[in-house]
Structure 1
Amino acid sequence: MIKPQLTEEQREALEQHHGLLQVDEEGRKYVLMSMDVYRELMGVGTDEELQASLKALQVGLADIDAGRTRPFRDVLAELESE
């Protein structure tokens, strides 16, 4: 796993924006957030929950890359019919 280092500018920006920062670079959009913000947003308390959450994100991204997705409207219609 790559563990990139934040620049001092990125650290300062995260502090100024309470741990959550959206970055647009050459048409690409990124979201940087502190671990505290991630844990709060995702309701992750324990380290085990954190690891499970990060693994689920990796699995979801792999599914997207492999084309294993369904249109949101289809999923929503299915949920509404149940």
Structure 2
Amino acid sequence: MYMWSDFKQPTDIAFGQNGEAYVSELQHRISILDKDGNLLARWGEESSHEPGQFVAPHGIAVDSKGDLYVGEVLEGQRIQKFIRK
């Protein structure tokens, strides 16, 4: 069994085709982990409505191209799409 605890109120998790884990965190950020649980990327500043930032992300999904979709239900009330490069 594995456990990762460096999250701020995780709300959802999605997995990419290469095994990456994408975690939405209620405290304004997204974390991406490799298949071994190592942190690859993390972004999100303190509660911002600006594009690319978050107020309270609740849902997360990854499509077959690796594009990331993040939904905010409470204050943000939006879905943002991040295109994989």
Structure 1-normalised TM-score? 0.20
Q: Report the structure, 1 or 2, having the larger helix content.
A: 1
Task: Using CA pairs under 8 Å that are at least 6 residues apart, name the structure with larger relative contact order, 1 or 2.
Answer: 2
Flag the structure with larger Rg: 1
Structure (1/2) with the larger strand percentage:
2
